[in-house]
Amino acid sequence: MTGQPYRHITVRPLHPLFAAEVTGIDLTQPLPDDVFAEVAAAFDEHSVLVFPGQRLDNDRQIAFSRRFGELEVMLKGVVGEDRHLAGISNVDPKTNQIIPADHPRMLRQYGNELWHTDSSFKPVSAKASLLHGREVPPSGGETHFAAMRAAWDDLPAEKKRLCERLVAEHSFVYSRRQVVKEDFLTPEEKAEVPPVPQALVVENPRNARKALYVASHAERILGWPEAQGRALLDELLAHATQPKYVYTHRWRPWDLVMWDNRATMHKGSAYDYRNHRRVMVRTTVAGDAPTITADEVRRREAEAATLAA
């Protein structure tokens, strides 16, 4: 679809490197296959799609999301009744009141303000996330996206060769500790999210485009001394989040924004948690396979020491 006009939808780029607004489409109605095919092509091309003015309910958001694949089931305690939906919100759905800013449900969300990619702490990380703005604050609460394909493309060749031979270990417990020093996860919750290996570079099989794959969940490089792995991860994160790679989305009510977790990172921004309501609902499309096989993890980990020298 690259370079070709879309017949059913209008696609307007929002940033020189990625992200586009899609209009001329009503997601409250089932999409014919040919229209959906254009949306899917735009998604592969632009990595972040913004659909303004979509008055979806939970069922319609789930139905549209399912067109892209199986949905992830959220961690216990993250959601309300339906574990396919994650509430990114400071409003308690039962009482409709603002949740105290130091409540564990809020503490858990502050980690979203670190650069990350959804579910990279799971063995099979997420393919896509769809976030719907039901109530948005008058200021703050923006979502920033980083173009990880461009960040990859611009790395020096030597650094690319190194990244392609290494494995990062991602941990939910690690990333949450960066934000909230106190331990707010129960032993049962921690047991649900043991650290997992992830490739440092991933490729979209549909268009063979490569992207750097790091996140605040990335704790260490397998087979490397801790400080050296940390230095590389910090360097890659700093590289990928330079302003030239970042698109900032300022939410309007009823925006649906979907992003490719294997081609972007994102982070939320602070807002007035105590006084302004922000109610967002996320659905997450599961990945098809791990970013790296268990055999390849073992092979790279064994070889990593020679690369660290």
Where do contacts with Fe ion occur on this chain (CB under 5 A)?
A: 118
Measured from the CB atom, the residue of 38 and 219 that comes closer to Fe ion is 219
Q: Are 23 and 52 in contact (CB under 8 A)?
A: yes
In whole angstroms, the minimum distance from the beta carbon of 130 to Fe ion comes to 11
In whole angstroms, the minimum distance from the beta carbon of 144 to Fe ion comes to 11
Measured from the CB atom, the residue of 108 and 300 that comes closer to Fe ion is 108
Position of minimal CB gap to Fe ion: 118
In whole angstroms, the minimum distance from the beta carbon of 282 to Fe ion comes to 8
**Side chain identity at 23, as an amino acid letter?**
T
d(CA 227, CA 53): 47
In whole angstroms, the minimum distance from the beta carbon of 284 to Fe ion comes to 9
Measured from the CB atom, the residue of 41 and 168 that comes closer to Fe ion is 168
In whole angstroms, the minimum distance from the beta carbon of 225 to Fe ion comes to 30
Measured from the CB atom, the residue of 118 and 255 that comes closer to Fe ion is 118
d(CA 252, CA 233): 34
Measured from the CB atom, the residue of 118 and 219 that comes closer to Fe ion is 118
Measured from the CB atom, the residue of 118 and 260 that comes closer to Fe ion is 118
In whole angstroms, the minimum distance from the beta carbon of 290 to Fe ion comes to 19
